[in-house]
């Protein structure tokens, strides 16, 4: 099957619509980065959020960007302009953050780095909208109200597209994806820590393939 080419420059909505799930990846060993990325791509998932939660994260992004051209390496847990710059320098092509500040938004605009900023309240949505952002991460999704909150937001924020992340699993992903204001979901279940540690790339490919077949509303 031919791989759909990505637009240049890449936009946040392109990241969200490429597949139903963006994997939230925590890597502790650079040696795992490339085979993990290849397994996810083989399963139909190429937008890869590598979280900046470990000392090896930037090196992992750099390795994926250099050695797996079919993947689109992104950086999660961006909290500052310095994080955005470091991620960009490592080869990240999009960023994801747990919250939002105008300083982070400006840094990503300056770098032309698409950003999915985390929001959990109406005021945070409006702050992101004021800076021109309309594709947002709903985080932590389950703890902040889940599908009920997204349904409530659809009235006043019907023009915003969300990527719910945090507590999303195979058990509830379809419920989120059925909503008209959800473009995709983020989840860590595609890359279980035990599978990564064991190098069980076949299991991860299978999980990615299942996730890539999830239907949107």
Question: Residue-wise over 79-117: b if at least 16 C-beta within 10 A, else e?
Answer: eebebbbbbbebebbbbbbbbbbeebbebbeebebbbbb
- Residues taking part in catalysis: 49, 137
Residue from 217, 77, 74 nearest 147 by CA: 217
Q: Give the 3-state secondary structure of residue 96.
A: strand
Q: Which pairing describes strands 118-119 and 115-116: parallel, antiparallel, or unpaired? A: unpaired
């Amino acid at each position: 099957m031919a791989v759909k080419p990505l637009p240049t420059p890449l936009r946040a909505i392109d990241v969200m619509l490429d597949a139903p799930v963006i994997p939230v990846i925590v890597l502790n060993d650079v040696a795992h980065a490339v085979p993990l990325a290849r397994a996810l791509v083989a399963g139909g998932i190429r937008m890869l959020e590598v979280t900046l939660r470990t000392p090896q994260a930037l090196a992992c992004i750099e390795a994926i960007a250099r050695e797996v051209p079919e993947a689109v390496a992104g950086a999660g847990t961006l909290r500052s302009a310095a994080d955005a710059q470091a991620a960009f320098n490592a080869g990240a092509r999009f960023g994801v953050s747990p919250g939002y500040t105008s300083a982070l938004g400006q840094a990503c605009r300056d770098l032309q780095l698409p950003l999915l900023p985390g929001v959990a309240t109406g005021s945070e949505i409006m702050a992101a909208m004021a800076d021109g952002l309309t594709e947002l991460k709903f985080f932590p999704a389950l703890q902040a109200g889940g599908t009920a909150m997204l349904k409530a937001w659809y009235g006043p924020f019907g023009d915003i597209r969300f990527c719910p992340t945090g507590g999303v699993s195979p058990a509830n992903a379809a419920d989120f994806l059925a909503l008209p204001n959800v473009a995709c979901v983020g989840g860590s279940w595609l890359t279980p820590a035990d599978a990564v540690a064991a190098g069980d790339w076949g299991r991860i490919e299978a999980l990615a393939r299942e996730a890539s077949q999830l239907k949107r509303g």
